[in-house]
Structure 1
Amino acid sequence: MILWLTLAQVAVAVVAGLFCLVAGFAGRRPSDYTVGALALVELLLVVQVVVAIVAPLAGNPPTGDLLEYWVYLVSAVLLPVGAVLWALMERSRWSTVILGVAALAVAIMVWRMHVIWTIQIA
């Protein structure tokens, strides 16, 4: 993984998560802004998928368990999609809170993926 990309993903996911949590606790229903914040998180995760495919070919192999890394990555990619689908089906303030929780979970998962890729020794 690339450190600056990881830090950017974590920062965007935390900001999106906090934004959605504040909006949800303020009583706001899901809007273009909250769903768009999760869409940005999802876009960065798709970039991470491409990086995860290209990095080993470019001489940056993972030091940890590759299966564990991919399980985290696939789960992280599916999490915002599921949260947005939930928010679109049940348009309440709690759906906005779920968007925030999903974004914060993605931030934690991305950092864990970075640890698996760079720090652990298989």
Structure 2
Amino acid sequence: MIEWFVALQVGVALVAGVLCLVLGLAGRVPNDLTMGAVALVELLLIVQLVMAIVGPLVGNSPTGSLAEFYIYLISALILPLAGGFWALIERNRWSTVILGGVCLAIAVMVYRMGQIWFVQGA
């Protein structure tokens, strides 16, 4: 992992989460803006997956449990897909709020992945 990329991911997920929460509580149904924000969060997670595979091969190994890290990463990769699928099936304001909750959960998960990679002792 790269520290600045973790900070970027957390920041983007927080902004996307707050945006979706505000729009959902204002009564807006999922639209291109909210789905695009969630798609951006998913794209950054896919980039993180590639970096997590390449990192240990080039000497950037985690200080914590690699298995725990990948459990967080795979779970985080599934959340936007499930939330986006739900938002497309059931198009109401609460779907937009759920998208916000998904993005906020991903922000927490990416922060924890950074702790496992950089801080936690094995």
Structure-2-length-normalised TM-score: 0.99
Aligned to 1:76: 76
Aligned to 2:37: 37
Aligned-residue CA RMSD (Å): 0.4
4+ long deviations beyond 2 Å: none
Unaligned runs of 5+ in 1: none
Query: 2: distance between equivalents of 1:32 and 1:19?
Result: 12
Q: CA deviation at 1:58?
A: 1.1
Identity percentage of aligned residues: 61
Aligned to 1:97: 97
Aligned to 2:6: 6
Give the aligned residue type for 1:58.
V
Give the aligned residue type for 1:116.
I
Q: SS at 2:121's partner residue?
A: coil
Deviations 1:37-70 (A, max 9, x none): 0000000000000000011011110110111000
